[in-house]
Amino acid sequence: MMMRLLIVDDDSDHRLILRNMFEANGYGCDEAEDGGEALSKLRADKVDIVLTDLHMPGMNGLELINQMGRLASLQHTPAILMSSQSREDMPYEAHKTGACAVISKPYDLHELLEEVSRAIGQAEPDELTAMA
């Protein structure tokens, strides 16, 4: 069964890079450009994990994860927060909100793939499929 991932980021180029990498590794992907659009998509379709940026206009990544935790249908959907912010308390704040992991930008794509696999309980990938 193909795992479904929702990529939430206001940077369309970043979403495309992530989508290409995850699809090349067997994931089904959907995209949202902010937290509000992500919540609408999450209410309509089931995903296995959410990968969200922290800083976005409107609803940011922490607010999205907080809202997911308040909805019975989404409170068990893992979410990973991506952030270029280097505050020492960011991992604590993100985990307190409900994120299962915080990934610092810039990140290694292979490490990101491993973190997603770990979060949804899959075996870690042996190797990253090269992107064309």
pLDDT in tens, 86-107: 555 555 566 666 688 888 878 8
Instruction: Concatenate the DSSP letters of all residues of the chain into one string.
Output: ---EEEEE-S-HHHHHHHHHHHHHTT-EEEEESSHHHHHHHHHHS--SEEEEES--SSS-HHHHHHHHHHSTTTTTS-EEEEE----TTHHHHHHHHT-SEEEESS--HHHHHHHHHHHTTPPPPSSPPPP-
pLDDT in tens, 67-85: 999 998 898 899 999 887 6
The total number of residues shown for the chain amounts to 132
Q: Which amino acid is at 128?
A: L
> Phi/psi zone of residue 10: left (φ > 0), alpha (ψ -120 to 50 degrees), beta?
alpha
Looking at residue 96, its pLDDT comes to: 64
Q: Hey, what are 46's tokens?
A: 């089931």
Q: Which residue has the higher pLDDT, 121 or 79?
A: 79
With cut-offs at 50, 70 and 90, classify the pLDDT of residue 110.
Answer: confident
Residue 128 has pLDDT above 90, yes or no: no
- pTM, full prediction: 0.85
Q: Hey, what are 51's tokens?
A: 């990968």
With cut-offs at 50, 70 and 90, classify the pLDDT of residue 31.
Answer: very high
